[in-house]
Amino acid sequence: MSRRSRLKLDGIPIHLIQRGNNRNACFYADEDYQFYLESLDAYCHDEGVKVHAYVLMTNHVHLLVTPTDGNGPSRVMKRLGQRYVQYINRTYQRTGSLWEGRFRSSLVGEENYFLACHRYIELNPVRAKMVSHPVEYQWSSYRANALGEFDRVLSPHSLYQALGNDATDRQIAYKNLFSSELESSLINEIRQAANGGYVFGSEKFQRETALAIGRRTWRGISGRPPKASLEEDQGRFPF
């Protein structure tokens, strides 16, 4: 069976996940995280991809980005993956694969969904019980987004900037988003969208994306929009 092609659209945010092979570690020392971020920054700049949120876990990576060109993230991840594997193999005198096949991804919808994905990514170390609060984890975008620490990798999205009239207001509003945990149903929805290569967004956003791409952008029967919505769009693109 052929692989399901990724959903991609120019200018639409995308949540990317790349895991270590067999869930094994892909970062071993502080220098490894730093090398990855420096390479990520360089390749995203080259390819016109803006990074809004990230977390580098021991054995996987989450990124929330917006590409100028919908193919940009794939080019970034290919170049980054190759360079980082070469670095790790050279540094630790190892051979073989480091990553678990191709990265997984989902397009991300409007404000509530976009900011939920922000929180999901930066709360990863908390869910993994590595820290009690995201501010305690060094290798994520939380400190930049919530405290204003400089992070050359990041480019704030307009939805983040709309949280306040100035940097202080935005940071306070952003920190307030973390005053409660994400609902388990929302966590599952984000995971299913990324693992299945679907859209994480409202039914309206899913339909609009499907019409733009020309294919279904949600899961099967249990995850599709209401029947009436499908009937409105029937015949305009294949399911």
Structure tokens given for 227: 């029947």
The position carrying tokens 């949120």 is 53
Domains and CATH numbers, the chain: 14-199 (3.30.70.1290), 202-239 (no CATH)
pLDDT at 234: 39
Count other C-beta atoms under 10 Å from residue 24's C-beta: 12
Residue 229 φ/ψ region, left for φ over 0, alpha for ψ in the -120 to 50 degree band, beta for the rest: alpha
pLDDT at 111: 78
Residue 181 DSSP code: P
Q: pTM of the entire structure?
A: 0.88
What does the alpha-carbon distance between residue 63 and residue 56 come to, in Å, rounded to a whole number?
9
What does the alpha-carbon distance between residue 189 and residue 186 come to, in Å, rounded to a whole number?
5
pLDDT at 231: 40
pLDDT at 4: 59
pLDDT at 210: 85
Q: Is 222 helix (H, G, I), strand (E, B) or coil?
A: helix
Structure tokens given for 64: 């929330």
Instruction: Give pLDDT < 70 ranges for the chain.
Output: 1-5, 215, 217-239
Number of H helices, E strands in the chain: 10, 5
Structure tokens given for 113: 């969904």
